[in-house]
Amino acid sequence: MNVLIIGSGGREHALAWKLRQSQYTDKIFVAPGNAGTAQIATNVDIAVTDFEALAKFATDFNVMMVVVGPEVPLVAGIHDYFLSHDYLKNILVVGPSKEGAQLEGSKDFSKQFMQKYQIPTARYQTFTEADFEQALEYLKGHSYPVVLKADGLAAGKGVVIAQTFEEASYHLDGMLHLGRFGNAGSKVVIEEYLQGIELSAFILTDGKEYVLLPEAKDYKRIGEADAGLNTGGMGAVSPVPFADASFMQKVEERVVKPTLHGLQTENISYTGFLFIGLMNVNGDPYVIEYNVRLGDPETEAILPRIKTDLFELFRALHDGDLGNIKLEIDSKTATTIMLVAGGYPDEYEKGHVISGLEQLTDVVAFHAGTSLNEQGDVLSNGGRVIALTALGDSMAEALAAVNAAAEKVIWKDRYYRRDIGFDLK
């Protein structure tokens, strides 16, 4: 069967890599893809939100399955687009409906949903420009730190943790009055700060049945010891030692099952991945956010641990058969380091030739922001450039392997964190 993967990051390269291993996949296309996906699949130069062109390509090239990597096309309704055209209806889309994607597309929607279905999360209130004065009053009476979240998609930048009232009111003003996050910030969720350690949990679900995928811990800050600016993610570890069977059972009972119950009660169709960003607060899981897709770089750490054929999982998803799947997971630890352009997440350069990739053994290199020049050199083409993943019998072994590999992959000003996993050892 021919498959079209939508997106261009390390996550999509990992999806293509895993689907390539299936005996059921024939041609794999990635739109738009990167230099890594070009090595194992065929890149197609179509933007992730150009539904018409994607649909035309899918029919012209006999694509039977579309796997959507990033949130933007999901929130814009790519699944609904395919369902609303007769000639596209038989194509299996992995990714929720527009309504389901609101779990990520609107923080206010997801907070209301969690409150309604009693899913543990931080206490909150939502404000718009019209209630700016009430929002200020609310902030005056709030404990600190406090968390402000732009309601809509803001490419991971819409969250501010403010230490003081002055800081919080400055950001509130920026979001509600100055349009700092455009339309995404026209509503602001103000919520209680949760103290704990974060992890990412994932399920694949048809809205009723689900399989729990391996969890991962992601390292979001640019600097070592979790200092500095937030990024898309600088590395990941899976499994997460503190997410033991008892903790994950709490996640399933208190979060996953009530979430699916809520989706069913609200009649929201959901066929795809659900990423649950959790805070472990003294052994209890609290939901920080839902994402309606896999995480990046978490995908690069969890897919190498899944032994089950991913295509078969997707087929079971569409056949209503997920309940009969027993996921096979490698007990090894996967560690991922993201190599990034110097300067990221602020300004950075692109277009530098990357060397050392051919020397790598025992690690997988998932490309993120890369491209090829006419000579076939791999060039840096984004902030996050290459994710390296190693598996080991212990976290220490996996970390030693991935750190050794990271040293070998070089371009001008490349940077990476040498302390991934530091808090889990």
Instruction: Kindly list the residues in this chain that would bind ligand GLY in the complex (CB under 6 A).
Output: 218, 233, 291, 295-296, 298
* Partner from ligand AMP, ligand GLY, none binding residue 383, C-beta < 5-8 Å depending on class: none
284 binds ligand AMP per the rule CB under 6 A? no
* Minimum CB–partner distance for residue 348 and ligand GLY (Å): 19
Q: Which of 220, 257, 318, 408 binds ligand AMP (CB under 6 A)?
A: 220
147 binds ligand AMP per the rule CB under 6 A? yes
The burial of 167, by beta-carbon neighbours within 10 Å (0-12 exposed, 13-18 middle, 19 or more buried), is given as middle
296 binds ligand AMP per the rule CB under 6 A? no
- 336 and 357 Cβ atoms separated by less than 8 Å: no
Q: Which of 12, 104, 108, 191 binds ligand AMP (CB under 6 A)?
A: 191
* Partner from ligand GLY, ligand AMP, none binding residue 194, C-beta < 5-8 Å depending on class: ligand AMP
Q: Which of 198, 224, 312, 419 binds ligand AMP (CB under 6 A)?
A: 198
**What are the structure tokens assigned to 411, written together?**
């371009």
* Minimum CB–partner distance for residue 156 and ligand AMP (Å): 6
Cα separation, 68 vs 133, in Å, equals 41
Cα separation, 297 vs 274, in Å, equals 15
379 binds ligand AMP per the rule CB under 6 A? no
DSSP 8-state symbol, 422: T
The burial of 323, by beta-carbon neighbours within 10 Å (0-12 exposed, 13-18 middle, 19 or more buried), is given as exposed
* Partner from ligand AMP, ligand GLY, none binding residue 191, C-beta < 5-8 Å depending on class: ligand AMP
Size of the site for ligand AMP (CB under 6 A): 13
Q: Which of 135, 75, 129, 77 is nearest to 105 (CA)?
A: 75
Cα separation, 61 vs 200, in Å, equals 35
CA atoms within 13 A on the CB side of 149: 26
| CA geometry: angle 337, 3, 55, nearest 5 deg | 115
Compare residues 225 and 353 and give the one whose CB is closer to ligand AMP: 225
Q: Taking contact as CB under 6 A, which single stretch among the options 33-41, 155-163, 308-316, 417-425 is the one that binds ligand AMP? A: 155-163
Compare residues 35 and 114 and give the one whose CB is closer to ligand AMP: 114
Residue bearing tokens 């994402």? 291
| Cβ atoms within 10 Å, residue 103 | 28
Can you list the positions of beta strands (E) in 13-128? 28-32, 42-43, 63-68, 92-94, 124-128
* Partner from ligand GLY, ligand AMP, none binding residue 289, C-beta < 5-8 Å depending on class: ligand AMP
277 binds ligand AMP per the rule CB under 6 A? yes
Whether residue 345 is preceded by a cis peptide bond, meaning omega within 30 degrees of 0, is: yes
* Partner from ligand AMP, ligand GLY, none binding residue 207, C-beta < 5-8 Å depending on class: none
199 binds ligand AMP per the rule CB under 6 A? no
Amino acid letter at 421?
G
Q: Cα torsion for 89, 95, 101, 103, to the nearest 10°? A: 140
**What are the structure tokens assigned to 155, written together?**
């490419």
Dihedrals phi, psi of 275, to nearest 5 degrees: -105, 120
The burial of 170, by beta-carbon neighbours within 10 Å (0-12 exposed, 13-18 middle, 19 or more buried), is given as middle
Compare residues 226 and 397 and give the one whose CB is closer to ligand AMP: 226
* Partner from ligand AMP, ligand GLY, none binding residue 104, C-beta < 5-8 Å depending on class: none
Q: Taking contact as CB under 6 A, which single stretch among the options 23-31, 156-164, 265-273, 398-406 is the one that binds ligand AMP? A: 156-164
Subset of residues 103 to 142 that bind ligand AMP, contact rule: CB under 6 A: 122
17: Cβ contacts below 8 Å, ≥ 6 apart: 40, 303, 364, 366
Q: In whole angstroms, how large is the CA radius of gyration of the chain?
A: 21
Compare residues 147 and 401 and give the one whose CB is closer to ligand AMP: 147
* Minimum CB–partner distance for residue 221 and ligand GLY (Å): 12
* Partner from ligand AMP, ligand GLY, none binding residue 295, C-beta < 5-8 Å depending on class: ligand GLY
* Minimum CB–partner distance for residue 273 and ligand GLY (Å): 11
Give the binding site for ligand AMP (CB under 6 A).
122, 147, 156, 159, 161, 191, 193-194, 198, 220, 277, 288-289
